Amino acid sequence: MSNKNQQLIELGLKNWNSISWDLSSPQLVEIALSRGEGKLASNGALLVTTGSRTGRSPKDRFIVEEPSSKDNIAWGKINVPMSEEKFDHLFNKIQSYFQKKDLFAQDVYVGQHPQYRKRVRVVSELAWAALFARTLFVRPSNLEEVANHQPDFTILHAPMLHADPALDGTNSEVFVVIHLGRKLVLIGGTQYGGEIKKSIFSIMNYLLPLQGVFPMHCSANVGKDGDTALFFGLSGTGKTSLSADPERRLIGDDEHGWGDDGIFNFEGGCYAKTIRLSAEKEPQIYNAIRFGSIAENVIFDDYTRVIDYDSDEITENTRATYPVEHIDNVLIPGIGGHPRNIMFLAADAFGVLPPIAKLTPEMAMYHFMSGFTSKLAGTEAGITEPEATFSECFGAPFMPLPATRYAELLGQKMEKHHSDVWLVNTGWSGGPYGVGERMDIRLTRAMIKAALNGQLREVEFEPHPIFKVLVPKSCPEVPSEVLNPRNTWEDKSAYDRKAAELAKLFQKNFEKFSDVPAAIKEAEPVIPS
């Protein structure tokens, strides 16, 4: 019996029908197809559907309240506690369920930086879930690493096993439970691949600050001169699309750490939204989706197997997972220097924020702690159209520690390394959702390019009368009337009312941060009399 099999037996898993360890991507694709788990697209990607859950299930995520971590966690509506007793009940349920099953295990890493990486084991009943883990996380570089892999954390992935809320103490048939003390994650009742990814992200967000490293929900790239840029934002705000810049090298598309020697990617792959993806607007992502990739919940022609990226028949939150090396100009390993520029991306469904604005350090802290954006359709269960939201640190669903802990780390890093910070509205212009239009990604790219290459340092800025952020009066390759959002509205008084409405939401949300320094509080939007 292999050492790895013995480790699973010691974990309480036994009597499985078969277990396939660390299969290659082609092997996993073959098995997934033979088992009817998916179909093959014309571009070579594996096509899968995830059932009733096509986005994350935040109301079904729990952290076990246990001695080693309970005093550190910011308990509440996001970090919901679960007792050890209920965890053991679900754990026993998975142990029983895995008996007589064909299982697929992948040993991978999270974290490109050797000093901070963690070893992860994913055990699933689905071959395509093992492929997801292999594609998204950092793969071992040689067979010796594979053979000697001793997991720091293990994910037991049983998507076809549904919980019974009355018996199991869950909120629905879905459960995503993190036990930091026992280094285990239990996932059941949902096939959505993002739950695997985000559970490990949450664990890194707990562990890294204890080492003085700032974990970030952001993408990152680097220019020809070695200048690193970060792109913060929730799902659907454009992190993946905007960081995949043909003129810059990609470090990573979603999750990074910022340590004493610079930044590093957590992953070895990308998990991109594909709704309305086109070769013209996003050629790098479009071409990255090929053999070895997974496309979730997309519509395709049954005969030609050509994907229809414009269709939202199943969900708005269509996704593709692909290895980072599928991006032509990716930086491997995903490690970069200290960021010169930081972008806060907000998909503003109100249509009132400027498309780009510079932030003072105090404004940067205010907007980081606020984390304003709009939840886009499909990214979470129950979201069918854009909905204004505030997500602390641009990633509250994945942040186990208090928001102030992450904000302190950001402030220290910005001050030490003199980073410029920008607020970028990738949402609506000319009116709110339903009236205006989504900002053209080509214009957003032009504004970000001007910020990154220093051209915006040469222009004049003026403070926005309500949001106070510093709005450039001109920008190369961008019509000047676009820069002031009020100019894009036909009804200027309607703009004023909508802007005041959003400012009030900012103020209401920030009331929970009663003990922040006065300078940060001063960055708050004002409501005109």
Give pLDDT tens digits for 419-429: 999 999 999 99
Q: Are 378 and 354 in contact (CB under 8 A)?
A: no
Last residue of a domain, one of 211, 232, 247: 211
The predicted structure's pLDDT at residue 236? 80
Q: Which contacts qualify for 367-370: CB closer than 8 Å, 24 or more apart?
A: 367/423, 367/523, 368/232, 368/344, 368/393, 368/394, 368/406, 368/407, 368/410, 369/393, 369/403, 369/404, 369/407, 369/510, 369/513, 369/516, 369/520, 370/506, 370/509, 370/510
Q: Which two tokens stand for residue 218?
A: 């952001």
What CA–CA distances, in Å, run from 424 to 147, 243, 342? 45, 13, 10
Q: Which residue, of 196, 211, 226, is where some domain finishes?
A: 211
Residues 262-313 have pLDDT tens digits of: 999 999 999 999 999 999 989 999 999 999 999 999 999 999 999 999 999 9
SS3 category, 527: coil
Burial class (CB in 10 A: 0-12, 13-18, 19+), 516: middle
User: Is the same domain home to 195 and 232?
Assistant: no
Q: Is residue 401 over pLDDT 60?
A: yes
* Percent of all residues in the chain with a pLDDT value above 70, rounded to a whole number: 98
Nearby residues of 184 by Cβ (< 8 Å), 6 or more positions away: 91, 153, 154, 155, 156, 178
Is residue 128 located within the same domain as residue 236?
no
Q: Are residues 153 and 223 in the same domain?
A: no
Q: How many CB atoms lie within 10 A of CB 522?
A: 12
Domain-embedded: residue 47:
no
Residues in the chain: 529
Same domain, 253 and 116: no
CATH number at residue 73: 3.40.449.10
**Residue 315 lies inside a defined structural domain of this protein:** no
- Pair 119, 163 in one domain: yes
Buried b (16+ CB within 10 A) or exposed e, 255-280: bbbbbeebbbbbbbbbbbbbbebeee
Identify whether residues 112 and 246 lie together within a single domain.
Answer: no
Q: What is the pLDDT of residue 387?
A: 75
In what helix (H) or strand (E) does residue 479 lie, and over which residues does it extend? none
Give CA separation, 379 vs 99, 144, 195, 350, in Å: 33, 38, 12, 19
Crossing angle of helices 127-136 and 194-207, rounded to 10°: 40
**How many other C-beta atoms can be found within 10 angstroms of the C-beta atom of residue 352?**
29
**21 within some domain:** yes
> Rounded to whole angstroms, how far apart are CA atoms 46 and 3?
31
The residue among 211, 234, 257 that closes a domain is 211
181 lies in the same domain as 252: no
pLDDT confidence bin for 386, thresholds 50/70/90: low
Question: In this structure, are 219 and 195 located in the same domain?
Answer: no
Whole-angstrom distance, CA of residue 226 vs CA of residue 111:
21
**pLDDT tens figures, 476-498:** 999 999 999 999 999 999 999 99
Examine the pLDDT at 379 and tell me if it is beyond 90.
no
Confirm whether 38 is domain-assigned: no
Domain shared by 342 and 360, yes or no: yes
Q: What pLDDT is recorded for position 256?
A: 97
DSSP E strands in 348-440: the ranges are 356-359, 372-375, 387-390, 420-425, 428-429, 437-438
- Annotated active-site positions, please? 56, 198, 217, 235, 239-240, 254, 319
List the CATH number of the domain containing 226: 3.90.228.20
DSSP state of 67: T
Assess if residue 511 is contained within a domain.
Answer: yes
Segment of 25-29, 278-282, 382-386 carrying the highest mean pLDDT? 25-29
Taking only the tens place, the pLDDT of each residue in 56-90 is: 999 999 999 999 999 999 999 999 999 999 999 99
Is the CA virtual torsion 414, 417, 418, 421 positive or negative?
negative
Q: What domain count does the chain have?
A: 2
For all residues of the chain together, what is the average pLDDT? Answer: 94
Tell me how far apart the alpha carbons of residues 67 and 62 are, in angstroms, rounded to a whole number.
16
3-class SS at 448?
helix
In terms of domains, do 176 and 262 share one?
no
User: What mean pLDDT is predicted for residues 193-217?
Assistant: 96
CB 196 within 8 A of CB 255: no
Token pair belonging to 209:
């600050």
Q: What is the pLDDT of residues 121-143, one digit of tens each?
A: 999 999 999 999 999 999 998 98
- Specify the 3-state DSSP secondary structure of 145: helix
pLDDT in tens, 223-235: 999 999 999 998 7
Question: What's the pLDDT score for residue 384?
Answer: 60
* Domain shared by 160 and 230, yes or no: no
d(CA 404, CA 524): 17
**Enclosing domain of residue 493:** 214-268+333-521
pLDDT score of 375: 73
Beta strand extents in 96-152 (DSSP E only)? 102-110, 118-124
The pLDDT > 90 percentage for the chain reads: 90
- Asked whether residue 474 is domain-assigned, the answer is yes
CA distance 22 to 122: 10
Is 274 part of any domain?
A: no
pLDDT tens-digit map of 301-355:
999 999 999 999 999 999 999 999 999 889 999 999 999 999 999 999 999 999 9
Tell whether 138 and 206 lie within a shared domain: yes
Nearest-5° angle of CA 359, CA 364, CA 365? Answer: 155
pLDDT digits (tens, 9 = 90+) for 2-14: 899 999 999 999 9
In a domain, 36, yes or no: no
Pull the structure tokens for residue 71. Answer: 């005093």
CB 121 within 8 A of CB 154: yes
DSSP state, 380?
A: B
From the centroid of its chain, how far is CA 21? Answer: 27
Q: How many CB atoms lie within 10 A of CB 54?
A: 23
pLDDT classification of 1: cutoffs 50, 70, 90: low
Omega cis (within 30) before 81: no
